[in-house]
Amino acid sequence: MPDAGESVRSDKANIFTDAQKIQKPTTPVLTLYRIANSVGNSVDINFDLNDAGSVETNFGTIECEIVDPTDGSEDGKMNFKAMKAGSNTVGLRINGTGEVDVGNNSRLRLTETGLTAQRTVTFNDANTVVAGEANTQTLTNKTMDSRTNTCPNTAVNPLMFRWGCFQPSTGTTAVTIGQLDGILGQHVATGAGTNTVTFDTTEGMICNFVATATANLNVGIVAANATNPTCRRLFACKMSARVKIDSTTSARMYVGFASAALAISDTPIASGVDGVLVGFTSAATNFEIYSNDNSGTMTTTAITGPIAKNANWHTIEINWTASGNVDVIFDGTTQTLSANIPLTTTNLYFNCVGQTTTTTARTFSIHSIWIQCDK
């Protein structure tokens, strides 16, 4: 065998000594021994190949290194290296405490004890991150359920969040065709005509609120009174509703929040009223956003597209973080409002209605409503 500092090389699949294979009656053992006992001393196995210029190049190394040479309590570590952009780089390490680190900067550590900062697993999709830090983590995508942003089939602790919902039930009156729960429980279901629950082959069960042939009626879900507000902008809020109206002729549609009783008007949140609503007025051509901070004239913002008002189903979402900007999401497209939006401490009341403008009956249909607030 070679002396210390020399190498064993072979172009073949086997290594020979004196033209004979090394053989033992027990399990074969390959030992690399270096007469050294200082921290950082190592023995290596190099894997050399030729580069594009036919120059012998080290493409990988297995390295065993002394961490602690103390007799009886020795520690060592194994580094598994591979060539990366011209440098031999550690890809896997078994460290001196028996833990396994993955990545050049130990970005993943497999251990049975507590971790420090190496707690992120990144998958092939760079946006998919699993975080395990003890501190609060902000993830790129927090959505668990596309409509409620909560864990499906998991109850929400009312000490952490307030919630409300509306979904179809049974009956023939505005009050009985659907069920209002949680913070929507004090709202009033309104429809003076013949109301129904029907099955839509695309949407499933839906509630149909019907107005009689009378001008200036609300039809749908209306805030009850000024003593039971739904939320404030000071509290984070998420609202999602899926709705439609049978015709845009002689009609208005408003979904959202106002600080006073919703006006049956083309100016639903006039001067002196805070609010943010999504829908259309009788004079509008397209779906629009209406907002006001009570200081002056209502701001009208066209839904991105624009999208002509129509009698189709639409999912309308209005979300904001505590005291933050207001995001309006119309059929999946987000628009952010940062000016002329409700003041943070103003009480807001939820409405989800169609309105008649002439003596023509209108039907306002609701698939479902979900609201979640911090307080």
Residues 217 and 273 in one domain: yes
Structural domain includes residue 137: no
Same domain for 350 and 213? yes
Alpha-carbon dihedral sign for residues 224, 218, 291, 314: positive
- Enter the tokens of residue 76: 């060592």
Residues 247, 337, single domain; the answer is yes
For residue range 175-234, what is the model confidence (pLDDT) as tens digits?
999 999 999 998 999 999 999 999 999 999 999 999 999 999 999 999 986 678 999 999
Query: Cα separation of 212 and 362, whole Å?
Result: 7
Neighbouring CB atoms inside 10 A of 55's CB total 8
Average pLDDT over residues 336-352: 95
Q: Which of 131, 153, 182 is the last residue of a domain?
A: 131
Cis? peptide before 306, omega within 30° of 0: yes
Phi, psi for 240 (deg, rounded to 5) = -140, 130
When pLDDT is cut at 50, 70 and 90, the band that residue 139 belongs to is low
Of 109, 131, 153, the residue that ends a domain is: 131
Lowest-confidence pick of 75-84, 148-157, 202-211, 264-273: 148-157
Q: Would you state the pLDDT for residue 117?
A: 58
Same domain, 126 and 174: no
Is residue 122 scored above 70 in pLDDT? no
| Residue 10 domain-assigned (yes or no) | no
pLDDT, residue 110, reads 63
CB-CB contact of 235 with 320 (8 Å): no
> pLDDT tens for residues 33-71?
888 889 989 989 999 999 999 999 989 999 999 999 999
Are both 281 and 320 inside the same structural domain? yes
Q: Which of 113, 131, 149 is the last residue of a domain?
A: 131
The verdict on residue 146 lying in a domain is no
Cα 63 to Cα 78: distance, rounded to the nearest angstrom: 6
Quick check: is 62 in a domain?
yes
Closest alpha carbon to 118 in 87, 88, 84, 95 = 95
How many degrees, rounded to 5, is the angle at CA 71 between CA 65 and CA 76? 20
CATH number, residue 190: 2.60.120.200
Within-domain flag for 144 = no
Say whether both 99 and 190 belong to one domain. Answer: no
Q: What is the pTM of this model?
A: 0.63
Q: Quick one: 185 and 330 in the same domain?
A: yes
184 and 305 co-located in one domain: yes
Q: Note whether 288 and 358 are same-domain residues.
A: yes
Residue 1 lies in a domain: no
Looking at the fold, whether 179 and 114 belong to one and the same domain comes out as no
Question: How many domains does the chain fold into?
Answer: 2
In a domain, 250, yes or no: yes
Q: Is residue 150 part of a domain?
A: no
Domain interval for residue 286: 162-373
Do 280 and 361 share a domain, yes or no?
Answer: yes
pLDDT at residue 17, rounded to an integer? 43
With cut-offs at 50, 70 and 90, classify the pLDDT of residue 28.
confident
Is 248 in the same domain as 101? no
Give residue-wise pLDDT tens across range 288-331: 999 999 999 999 999 999 999 999 999 999 999 888 899 999 99
